[in-house]
């Protein structure tokens, strides 16, 4: 192998399986005798020259890493400015890469990260520094173009479908004398992918979830209330799944309705589920309950989808392969080659076609009445939540997740 170091960084919101990708990257690089440094807190680790020495990970720890949720090296919400606006930052990155002989840069994130990787590649090219930049897909939002799905989404989708099915059984059992309307709030600020996944929990008009609210459709109270009442009267209870990103016809986030400041100037935190539940209670008089799973839905490694876990592993392996082959500016993506049975392969796609582009949910995935998913959506979604990739558990009844304090390599530069 050519001499040099591979730098790997995690970016943006973490997932239940991003560490499976990390473990695959490290394992694949080790097999080729390429040392891997990981950015502490993502790209900030490079800017601050806080580089984690992954050679400290034992084989057993690497195995544990592959089934640990969260981001083991730290991730960050930090978008570099444009090359024109902050050239110095990009130069600092190259300086750190040079100091540590980084020849391959793997950036594990969404569309923003693809963009950043491209800009770094551009500057390296201009400065004549030999650097191969490769993106690695990851996001529970499932909004990257070209790829069939994004690692992280399938597990969050499985969590959503299973949780909604279980909670619905609870509500069904008690509805006669207790809660009649239950609202589940799913992540998805711009697209309703996770809300759509909830639709897998049941089939037929009487099965929960009875109503799904998508950000792709404007939310109007009156028809929604009418549907809730109709379902309660017919089925006995109504399970609603609401995307956090639903908006009123004039474009305001419904989630913000309950937020802001109260009369005492105290912050009121918003939320779609609590707001809808309160409105249903006022308008229809039903007893309501609601849930906001928040980070639980994207960190639930205990309920990971096996498909998702395998894909997260595969893109990590492919990214190393592409990088070491010198394939600049690509990202391994998942290509669906069959539906029944689900078949997929990994192949490279140009980062330039991924950067800053958002994949929307196809309109044909949403039922005509706007409150549910179609068979086409089921066909797409179902394989993504298939299979259980359980983590090992200890005698204490808890999953054995990696808890390693990894050393940073010694700094070779002054502060940024």
Site for a second copy in 51-70 (CB under 8 A): 68-70
Site for a second copy in 180-219 (CB under 8 A): 182, 200-201
Contact indicator for 311, 392 with CB cutoff of 8 Å: no
Site for a second copy in 283-302 (CB under 8 A): 288-296, 298-302
The answer to the question of residue 398 lying near a second copy (CB under 8 A) is yes
Dihedral sign from CA coordinates of 138, 310, 298, 210: positive
| 403 belongs to the catalytic site | no
The answer to whether 135 is a known ligand-binding residue is no
Q: Choose the catalytic residue: 141, 143, 148, 308.
A: 141
Binding window for a second copy (CB under 8 A); candidates: 222-230, 314-322, 368-376, 378-386: 378-386
Q: Which two tokens stand for residue 38?
A: 């990981």
Does residue 284 sit in helix, strand or coil?
helix
Note the Cα 27 to chain centre separation in Å: 23
Q: For helices 221-235 and 272-284, what crossing angle results, to 10°?
A: 70
Report in angstroms how near the CB of residue 290 gets to a second copy at its nearest. Answer: 7
Site for a second copy in 293-352 (CB under 8 A): 293-296, 298-303, 305, 307
The residue length of the chain stands at 416
Report in angstroms how near the CB of residue 101 gets to a second copy at its nearest. Answer: 26
Contact indicator for 185, 292 with CB cutoff of 8 Å: yes
Report in angstroms how near the CB of residue 289 gets to a second copy at its nearest. Answer: 6
The answer to whether 39 is a known ligand-binding residue is no
Q: Is 313 exposed, middle or buried (0-12, 13-18, 19+ CB in 10 A)?
A: buried
CA dist 91 to 10, 47, 292, 375, Å? 20, 10, 42, 50
Site for a second copy in 22-51 (CB under 8 A): 41, 44
The answer to whether 115 is a known ligand-binding residue is no
Does residue 133 sit in helix, strand or coil?
strand
Report in angstroms how near the CB of residue 236 gets to a second copy at its nearest. Answer: 10
* H or E segment to which residue 6 belongs: strand 5-10
Report in angstroms how near the CB of residue 14 gets to a second copy at its nearest. Answer: 5
d(CA 352, CA 179): 50
Among 31, 88, 99, 169, binds a second copy (CB under 8 A): 169
Among 80, 74, 134, residue whose Cα is nearest residue 106: 134
The answer to the question of residue 266 lying near a second copy (CB under 8 A) is yes
Dihedral sign from CA coordinates of 353, 356, 357, 361: positive
- The nearer residue to a second copy, 197 or 330, going by C-beta atoms, is 197
The answer to the question of residue 241 lying near a second copy (CB under 8 A) is no
Site for a second copy in 68-97 (CB under 8 A): 68-78
* H or E segment to which residue 31 belongs: helix 18-31
x/- map, 2-21, a second copy, by CB under 8 A = --------x--xx-x-----
Report in angstroms how near the CB of residue 70 gets to a second copy at its nearest. Answer: 3
Please report, in range form, the residues annotated as the binding site for substrate.
139-141, 187-189, 244, 295-298
Known binding residues: 13, 111, 139-141, 187-189, 244, 295-298
Sequence ranges of the binding site for Mg(2+)? 111
Which residues are annotated as part of the binding site for diphosphate? Answer: 13
């Amino acid at each position: 192998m050519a001499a040099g170091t591979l730098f790997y960084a995690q970016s943006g919101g973490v997932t239940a399986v991003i560490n499976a990708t990390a473990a695959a990257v490290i394992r694949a690089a080790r097999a080729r005798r390429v040392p891997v440094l990981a950015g502490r807190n993502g790209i900030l680790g490079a800017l601050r020259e806080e580089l984690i020495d992954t050679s400290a990970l034992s084989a057993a720890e690497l195995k544990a890493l592959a089934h640990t949720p969260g981001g083991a090296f730290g991730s960050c919400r930090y978008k570099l400015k444009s090359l024109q606006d902050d050239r110095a930052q990009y130069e600092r990155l190259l300086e750190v890469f040079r100091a540590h002989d980084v020849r391959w840069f793997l950036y594990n994130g969404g569309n923003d990260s693809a963009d950043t990787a491209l800009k770094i590649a551009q500057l390296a090219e201009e400065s004549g520094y030999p650097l191969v930049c490769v993106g690695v897909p990851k996001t529970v939002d499932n909004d990257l173009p070209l790829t069939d799905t994004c690692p992280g989404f399938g597990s969050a989708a499985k969590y959503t479908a299973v949780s909604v099915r279980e909670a619905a059984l609870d509500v069904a059992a008690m509805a006669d004398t207790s809660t009649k309307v239950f609202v589940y709030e799913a992540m998805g600020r711009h697209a309703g992918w996770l809300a759509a996944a909830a639709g897998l929990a049941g089939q037929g008009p009487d099965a929960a979830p009875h109503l799904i609210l998508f950000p792709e459709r404007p939310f109007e109270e009156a028809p929604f209330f009418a549907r809730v009442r109709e379902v309660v009267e017919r089925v006995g209870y109504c399970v609603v799944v609401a995307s956090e990103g639903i908006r009123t016809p004039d474009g305001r986030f419904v989630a913000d309705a309950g937020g802001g400041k109260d009369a005492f100037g105290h912050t009121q935190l918003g939320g779609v589920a609590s707001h809808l539940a309160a409105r249903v209670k006022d308008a229809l008089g039903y007893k309501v309950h609601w849930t906001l799973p928040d980070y639980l839905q994207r960190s639930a490694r205990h309920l990971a989808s096996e498909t998702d876990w395998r894909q997260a592993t595969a893109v990590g392996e492919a990214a190393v392969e592409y990088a070491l082959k010198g394939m600049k500016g690509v990202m391994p993506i998942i290509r669906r080659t069959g539906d029944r049975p689900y078949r997929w392969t990994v192949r490279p796609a140009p980062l330039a076609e991924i950067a800053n582009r958002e994949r929307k949910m196809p309109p044909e995935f949403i039922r005509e009445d706007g409150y549910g998913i179609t068979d086409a959506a089921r066909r797409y979604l179902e394989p993504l939540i298939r299979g259980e990739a359980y983590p090992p558990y200890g005698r204490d009844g808890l999953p054995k997740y990696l808890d390693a304090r990894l050393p940073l390599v010694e700094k070779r530069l002054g502060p940024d």
